[in-house]
A and B are shown apart, each in its own frame.
Chain A
Amino acid sequence: MNTGGPFRLGISIAGPRFGAVAVDDSGRVVASEVTEGFGGLAVVVGSVLKQVGAGRIGAAMLAMSAFADWLRDHRTVGRVGVLRVGATPTTAVPPLAGWPREVAERVAGPWLTTAGGIDIDGSTAGELDLDAVRDFAGRCGTAASAVAVSGSFSYLDNRPERAAAAVVRDVLGAGYPITLSDDVGGFGLYERENAAILNAALGARAQTLIEGVRSILHEHGVGTELFVARNDGTLVTAPGAAALPIHIVSGHLAAVVRGHARMAGVENAIVVGGGGRHPGAGVVRHGRLVLEPTPTLAGVRTNQPVPLGFMAPAGMTEDHLVSWLRRRVGDLPVLDSEAGGPAIAAAVGVALAPVSGNVWSFVGDGGDRVEGIAEAGRQAVDRAVLAGADPAGTEVRQVVETQATYMSGGALRLFVQAAGRPFSSESRVP
């Protein structure tokens, strides 16, 4: 048995393939195991813990491809009621408009658009139609298993969404699953609402899956915090992931790409071998995972960035995937993760990832840019800490400013990401 620690336990679940590693603080892999087939998770976790000892695990990290497979295979997901709080009618583009019919038919529950949302200047237009919302909630009780609530400009003010959700809870009970578009985040009501609907549809599965992993860890004596890989490969705590599965759909591919690039010691590469049921590939450039900002997921336009390559056209072989990516990002060297094993790459990638918090915000005409960025940065740090980052050392890692076109006064869209190392119960380790 190895000594030392605390170690991070990295776990990869992709289709029937399982992998687990224990890594030390410097990123060195001290134990690893892979297997295939039913019950594989207990096998790989058990094997790694036997090598390092359950008491030496400071934190556990999970990357899984289940949600990606569900989105691609259009497997059965829950039916979702959609409640849109639009400042404005927004009625010419109703919820679920533009969705592929076969997806809409499986996901669509009742929907309602009501006034009382936020306008661009922060003002409220009209009032929430309480009777209509109660009636909508009543219909959802029988015709949907979850509700998605979307509100215009929710990143300026999310109170209308929260007020609407409170009415739904009044009718359907405090435990009824509700996704708020502001928790999903991002710009664009249509894209944010779509992501919230997909999130609500995946919610019950996420809860079950993540609980399953936690209980296996408990059985093996690992009682530490469990983190899950998000779409960009950064981490969030298990409850956060279970509530927002739309944030983790591409987490496994992101972990494979980050992990393999790290193990190979390269900053620029196309990494193939996603490890899920479908061929996967991603790109790192200058040490960063290259993301697609507005991907189409399950045929639906969303605003949740996923690794470039995650959305490769279905049925593409790995060779074609590489040339497809090359045409997007140029002639980078290709790393085949099958060589080292995608399960190990993902387990390493997720074990060594930071925890992040994201904020979208907008500095309008006459607003103070510096203050806007500082405020978004403070919020991002708070969100990262809530997602499980160690408050010591969590800081703003990325600020993306985009000038809004056709707007005078220098209006700015801001995306700010803060990140830090996972807060782990290292005091448990002697």
Chain B
Amino acid sequence: MRFTADDVAPMALGAAVLGGGGGGEPFLAEVMLREALGESGTIEIVTVDQLDADAEVAPFVLLGSPHALSEKLLGLAEPSIVFAGEPLRSRRPSAVMSYETAGINALYPLAAAALLGVPCVDADFCGRGVPSFDLSVLELDDVQSDSYLLCDPNGRTVVIRKWGRISVERLVRPVVETMGWLAVLSTSSMSAEFLRAHALRGSVSRCLELGRVFSGLAGLDDACAARLLERCGSVLIGSGVITERLATADRLGLRSSLSIEHDDAAEAPLRLEARNEFHLAVRAGEVLASTPDILVVADRVSWQPLSTEDAAVDRDVHVVALPADARWRTRKGLALTGPRALGYGLDYVDFSAVATGGGVR
């Protein structure tokens, strides 16, 4: 598959959907990607099965805070520094891939691929927006890399090597903070064999497809939109106006509760629980959807997904649930990313089981 300038808009929209309210707004990486592609540039997208046996792949992820990003934007130097990965790699990798195909991190590796003139692998390790570096299928399979390279916007780099099991998130986060809350990270190169065994496949394709679905929703009435969403395994949980937003903090950090009043006043309000992403949808005491499934809060008119920051009082919104990758819905997967792991005192609820026959509620 060839990724062209025409794919940028649906990719960015799909990235916002997969962010589930987090992942960082794709916009700046979208601009960077357009600049890198120009009018006629293309990026070769390769599946893990198409990789040569001796291929080496460099995963890319931007770490930090959207607040820092909003003032520092993105640099041209980081991709080549991280790709060369001086002390980390014995030879130049043949492709890049996205670590987390969600939010800005779905677009950034593509922009890097366009700048470097190398292919991007159609895979990732998260499949959705995640709040911590440790919430990946590599952690699930206990195959986290031992070596990491971080590069800040001034081109300063830090290498981290670990031995044994230790939280990479806890190792990396203070470095990102010291670097001014924004850094590009890569790991030691990954082999084709490793990726075939562990990576989530088809992430770029899925992101593009979701973007195309969501761009087709604007202008449809709610029932049509719901039917279209159901065809890609998703459910429109409800639509209405955000009437209340409460913020608290606990040992896991910031937490917000949103109340969404349904158009039909007889219907109980929908409650959303969020941290950096939306994690729970609850109505009248019943959990309708929960992490690790993806909860999207989208603008009522444009269907543009909103970040947890943008979901403010008075916004008129739709709430949609999308299934997370099957590997997140296993017992082991839920132990890592289920509601309890993210600080909520309840178990995972599969929205497709709850909403059966419900459609628009």
Contacts and interface: CB of A to CB of B under 8 A. Distances in A.
B282 to A, nearest CB: 21
A327 B67 contact: no
A310 interface: no
Interface string B277-308: 00000000000000000000000110000011
A406 B24 contact: yes
A405 B308 contact: yes
A120 B68 contact: yes
A241 B314 CA distance: 30
A86 interface: yes
Contacts of B207: none
B173 to A, nearest CB: 8
A152 to B, nearest CB: 4
Contacts of B276: 405-406
B72 A87 contact: yes
Interface in A392-417: 402-408, 410-411, 413
A93 B314 contact: no
B253 interface: yes
Contacts of B308: 405
B66 A404 contact: yes
A159 to B, nearest CB: 15
A405 B153 CA distance: 20
Interface in A108-145: 119-121, 125-126
Contact of A408 (B27, B153, B253): B253
A86 B72 contact: yes
A213 B316 CA distance: 41
B31 interface: yes
Contacts of A188: 70-71
Nearest to A328: B316
Nearest to A187: B70
B77 A120 contact: no
Contacts of A120: 67-68, 71-72, 180-181
Contacts of B204: none
B35 interface: yes
Given A90-B75, A121-B180, A405 B66 contact: yes
A92 B182 CA distance: 15
A88 B153 contact: yes
Interface in A123-176: 125-126, 152-153
Interface in A77-100: 86-94, 97-98
A290 interface: yes
Nearest to A118: B71
B66 A152 contact: no
Contacts of A88: 72-73, 75, 152-154
A324 B154 CA distance: 45
Nearest to A403: B254
A152 B153 CA distance: 13
Nearest to B241: A330
B228 interface: no
A119 to B, nearest CB: 5
A398 to B, nearest CB: 14
A405 B64 CA distance: 9
A365 B300 CA distance: 35
A365 B181 CA distance: 11
Contacts of A94: 35
A113 B177 CA distance: 25
A365 B152 CA distance: 19
Interface string A160-203: 00000000000000000000000000011111000000000000
A28 interface: no
B65 interface: yes
A87 B155 CA distance: 12
B22 interface: yes
A7 interface: no
A94 B247 CA distance: 36
B309 interface: yes
A212 to B, nearest CB: 38
A121 to B, nearest CB: 7
Contact of A152 (B64, B71, B316): B71
Interface string A321-341: 000100111100000000000
Contact of A330 (B30, B35, B247, B316): B316
B32 interface: yes
A93 B31 contact: yes
A404 B65 contact: yes
A285 interface: yes
Contacts of B173: 408
B73 A86 contact: yes
A372 to B, nearest CB: 14
A284 B276 CA distance: 31
Interface string B1-35: 00000000000000000000010100110111011
Contacts of A410: 249, 254
A411 B70 CA distance: 14
Nearest to A91: B76
B71 A93 contact: no
A290 B24 CA distance: 25
A347 to B, nearest CB: 28
B110 interface: no
B99 to A, nearest CB: 15
Interface in B56-89: 64-68, 70-77
B65 A411 contact: yes
B77 A91 contact: yes
Given A121-B180, A285-B314, A327 B70 contact: no
B73 A189 contact: yes
Nearest to B249: A410
Nearest to A323: B301
Interface in A372-403: 402-403
Given A98-B31, A98-B34, A405-B254, A327 B154 contact: no
B253 A93 contact: no
B29 to A, nearest CB: 9
Contacts of B32: 92-93, 97
A362 interface: yes
A402 B309 contact: yes
Given A92-B115, A153-B71, A407-B181, 20 more contacts: A88-B152, A94-B35, A120-B71, A121-B180, A188-B71, A189-B72, A190-B70, A301-B27, A329-B241, A329-B314, A365-B177, A402-B309, A404-B65, A404-B66, A405-B66, A405-B307, A406-B24, A406-B65, A406-B66, A411-B65
The 3 A-B residue pairs whose C-beta atoms are closest, nearest first, are A88-B153, A89-B75, A98-B31
22 contacts: A86-B72, A92-B76, A93-B31, A120-B72, A120-B180, A188-B71, A189-B72, A189-B73, A191-B70, A324-B301, A328-B300, A328-B301, A328-B316, A402-B309, A405-B65, A405-B66, A405-B307, A406-B276, A407-B67, A408-B173, A408-B177, A411-B67
Interface of A: 86-94, 97-98, 119-121, 125-126, 152-153, 187-191, 285, 290, 301, 324, 327-330, 362, 365, 402-408, 410-411, 413
